[in-house]
Chains A and B, each alone.
Chain A
Amino acid sequence: MTSPAILPAALRASLPVAFGYVPLGMAFGLLLVDSGQPGWLATLMGLIVFAGSAQFLAVGLLAAGTGLVEVFVTTLLLNSRHLFYGFSMLGRFSEVRGWRRLYLIFGLTDETYSLLTSTRPPEGASRSGYYLALTALNQGWWVLGCTAGALLGSAVTLDTRGMDFALTALFVVLAIEQWRAVREVYPFVAAVGAGAVALAFAGDRNFLLAALALTLLALFARYAAEKKTWTPST
């Protein structure tokens, strides 16, 4: 199922994510071990949680000995922005079945979503193979970072300040690629407007969720307006 062209293409596409995930994962691993938790916990979370913001939040939740019900609800709320990602992946994942489908859904982080929607598999390669390779590589970088951070402990001397700008730069590049793909001003304007409103009215922690909800509203409104002659479907 994996044609030889898939891996190099997926590796090239996922490298920018590596520059973001490795230092970010290291920061998480360092923080977790510094807070008194065992190092294996960092690796384990990278392997089965695979969610940056939730894992950073976990450091504080663990330190406070938070109850598991509260952990569940908090994680659901924090990650609820992923609900919106699934909506636009339904079509792309429709031909993938079984464990491959489960793994793609499991690995649908902000960055993986960005790459899956913005890059293309090499000519003639299977789409599901390329998607799987991208997702697995991204998770590999993340687990590598988490583990390295936990191993290094507080002995790290490398000055990585500012390296996480790679993620910002990645999203800027992907936004430009999206512009080339859709040639529509509306989604960009809607997002900036929604972002400005969310920045003004939502708290720091709720920014992404509020902005996504507002953006979705703006997109629904446009869809309804363009479909004046609405044909009710059963």
Chain B
Amino acid sequence: MDTLYLSGFVAVMAVATFCTRAAPFWLLGGRADHPLLAWLGRMLPPAVMTLLVLYCLKGTAFAAPPHGANELLAVALVVALHLWRRNALASIGAGTALYMILLQTGALAALPG
């Protein structure tokens, strides 16, 4: 594939991505003090964080063993650890380690039932 096409491809994708990120600033740049924007700035982040959790988990295969138990246990560990110690790195590290072990060993999938 020729370098000209590849360069054009990357440039187009870069410009399109930047446009989606910059549009609100171009459209609303002068209205940053509007109460609706202040309100959205407060309410949108928790909602988006919740959506991103759902987005990450929506690919979970509930139909096949272990029926989402890997995800459920790992998320439960993250929540419990974080409510208890409030150490983000520890919560994330422990949850990810548990998930990797469960997934790679297939421990829960091998359980009967």
Please report A residues at the B interface, Cβ cutoff 8 Å: 12-13, 15-16, 19, 36-38, 41, 44-45, 48-51, 54-55, 58, 61-62, 65, 68, 71-73, 75-76, 79-80, 82-94, 105-106, 108, 110, 113-114, 117-118, 159, 161-163, 165-179, 181-182, 184, 186-188, 190-192, 194-195, 199, 204, 207-208, 211-212, 215-216, 219, 222-223, 227, 233
Contact = CB atoms under 8 A, between A and B. Distances in A.
Contacts of B49: 114, 118, 171, 174-175, 178
Give the secondary structure class of A's interface.
Answer: helix
A179 B48 CA distance: 12
A68 B14 contact: no
B13 interface: yes
The 8 closest A-B pairs by CB, nearest first: A86-B24, A75-B16, A191-B50, A178-B46, A162-B100, A168-B56, A162-B103, A117-B45
A170 B91 CA distance: 9
Contacts of B104: 159, 161-162
Contacts of A163: 96, 100
A171 to B, nearest CB: 4
Given A44-B10, A166-B96, A184 B20 contact: no
B79 interface: yes
B33 to A, nearest CB: 8
A105 B29 contact: no
B18 to A, nearest CB: 6
Q: Could you say which of B14, B16, B28, B48 has the most chain A C-beta atoms within 10 Å of its C-beta?
A: B48
B112 interface: no
A90 B100 contact: no
A199 B51 CA distance: 11
Interface of B: 1, 5-6, 8-25, 28-29, 31-58, 71, 74-75, 78-79, 82-83, 88-89, 91-93, 95-96, 99-100, 102-104
Nearest to A176: B82
Nearest to A108: B21
A222 B39 CA distance: 10
Contacts of B39: 219, 223
A59 B90 CA distance: 34
Given A68-B9, A80-B20, A89-B24, 20 more contacts: A37-B1, A48-B14, A54-B13, A54-B17, A84-B44, A86-B21, A88-B41, A90-B37, A159-B104, A161-B100, A165-B74, A171-B49, A175-B53, A182-B46, A186-B43, A191-B50, A199-B58, A207-B55, A208-B51, A219-B47
Contacts of B24: 83, 85-87, 89-90
Nearest to B38: A91
Contacts of B103: 161-162
